[in-house]
Amino acid sequence: MSAGCSYFGVRVPRHVRRDMTDLAARGYTGVLHTFSENDLAYYRGTMVEIVAASHAEGLLVQASPWGLGRTFGGEAESRWVAFHPEECQVLDDGRRVAAACLNSPAYRAFCREWADWALECGVDAIFWDEPAWVVPRHVGIDDPARWTCRCRHCAERFGGELPTELTPEAQTFREASVIDFLREMTAHVAARGGRSTICLLPATEGMHGLADWDAVASLPGLATLATDPYWKHWGEPAETFVRRFARLVREVAERHGVAAQLWLPSFGLSREDVPQLEAAVAAAREEGVDDLWTWGYEACRHMSALATEDAPLVWEAVSAALTRRPQQPTEAAPSRFADLDLRPTRELVRLLNEEDATVPAAVAEAHDALATAIDAIVERMRRGGRLVYVGAGTSGLIAALDAAECGPTFGSPPGEVLALVADGEAGEDDAAAARERLGRLALGPDDSVVAVSASGSTPFALGALEAAREAGALRVAVTCVRGSALAALADLEVATVVGPEVLAGSTRLKAGTAQKLVLNAISTVTMIRLGRTYGGLMIAVAPENEKLRARARRNVALASGAGEEQVAEALAAAEGDARVALVSLLARVDAAEARARLEAAGGSVRGAIGGGA
């Protein structure tokens, strides 16, 4: 059984490495990278790194000519047609359109050059994706009856000018031209020791269908025959449409001794489509196709034209269906750790340190999401809302630690920052207990519930967000996987994808470190935004022991510039409250007035002295 996924749009190797780790941890065995004309021009060396990063995770790599010449699938634009307008297709009405002619010798030479580069990058197969004559609407032509091509290259191969009507002879010629183009490409790749996959549109008739799939499957050098029955695009019912083309591609492939591959969509699907998606996967397997792929990574949530608001949920569903296992990437056991217990102590220490060193980068990738979550929390806490952490196991302990530190560090009043932790290991599965305990807090719209779960699937955390949703509170999911079930329940997702642990499933390691960093940021930045600090100093420290009292004296002195005697007097008048003492000194008012100003400013020293919140 094989499971693959397309990946496109990211050209920063460190981000790609993180995502390839995620793919492998989810159980995928292959990845398709899109190799566009822009990549050929500007990212030649980068694509080598990307392929190497994929292979490092044990993934088979296919390369797609994404949008190449506008004759293959993909949203990428074509530089080649802009530079070679004379080699573009000609419509039946004589208009030339921005798509390369499949019969153009110059374009065929360019495709061979592209294939050479992809092979040099180290890919395992070239994926000739939906080769076809141009679809009119893809080049701005509203009339679907228009067809191509009637250029000089086509006339030469046809043996004279093509008719203006799409006669049976013209349609036969069009199909023969596509097959001849593919014959040249697969032969070229094979001559260089490479393998080819051809993915045909799920159509055997009409303007863009190929009637003779056997002619394609019998091409010399072909390794795999594929198709992509995206039922919504074709306006067909999922299960029957996928079953029909799964059977066709498998039967044709078997007749010619090549492998069969089938692609299913995860883009453009909503939660209502998930049962159809799962039925489609089952139908493909029942028809004997076990090499199943999806377009694309994270249900294309990064591309607004292809995504839906349910992309995280769809991604979890398609990954579980294709890989046949629950989606818990942190639980994966990478093969490179198979001999872990045989390694010497020094090497184990080094290995753990190297793995830990990858965590800050994973957190950095979540900076924007983290900042958005903090701003939303601060907005509610300024209105008197509470910050409630929820977690189980390691996640719960980290949440409890962060909440406990807010009082002594920032002067947070009791009940402002809370942590609800599941009772023991068994409590992790008790969603009802989470709902009941959240219910006792009488949550409201000004409260924020931050659910912490490495896998994003802990029932206790899920139950908490369900209760928070019913109460209208802000819901934030802090996980170590993207698009989790927890994220689907949340308003905001902060995902730090740290990948598999050295000890499979031991989320007290990288995942725990990432969660601690995230919660550090949430509490610290929130308190800074609420004015609980001043100029980088902790001026709201609870003076509960001599060390903290000394720190309060020092910080007030540093912030105000006052002498020891003045600071001591101000603190005495403020009954040890460093913020009151500081406002008194900076604003030159007595302790009572300073306290009133602080209360009016929501506890912000800058606001109390007139310097803004």
The residue type found at 205 is E
Q: Per-residue b/e over 423-432, b at no fewer than 16 CB within 10 Å?
A: eeeebbebbe
Chain length of the chain: 613
Cβ-contact 329, 26 below 8 angstroms: yes
How many Å separate Cα 527 from the centre of its chain?
Answer: 30
**DSSP conformation letters of 262-327:** EEEE-TT--GGGHHHHHHHHHHHHHTT--EEEEE-GGGGTT-TTT--TTHHHHHHHHHHHHHTS--
Catalytically annotated residue among 57, 175, 428, 493: 428
What is the Cα–Cα distance from 70 to 32, expressed in whole angstroms? 19
Task: Please give the backbone phi and psi of residue 595, each rounded to the nearest 5 degrees, phi first.
Answer: -65, -40
Task: Please give the backbone phi and psi of residue 59, each rounded to the nearest 5 degrees, phi first.
Answer: -90, 135
Catalytically annotated residue among 405, 466, 569, 593: 405
Residue 599 among the catalytic residues: no
What is the Cα–Cα distance from 612 to 188, expressed in whole angstroms? 69
Residue 156 among the catalytic residues: no
Write 153-160 long-range contacts (CB < 8 A, 24+).
Answer: 153/87, 153/101, 153/103, 153/104, 153/105, 154/90, 154/101, 154/103, 156/103, 157/103
**Cα(first)–Cα(last) distance of the chain, in Å?**
58
Supply angle C-alpha 88, 127, 79, rounded to 5: 30
Strand partners, 33: 7, 63
Q: Which residues are catalytic?
A: 405, 428
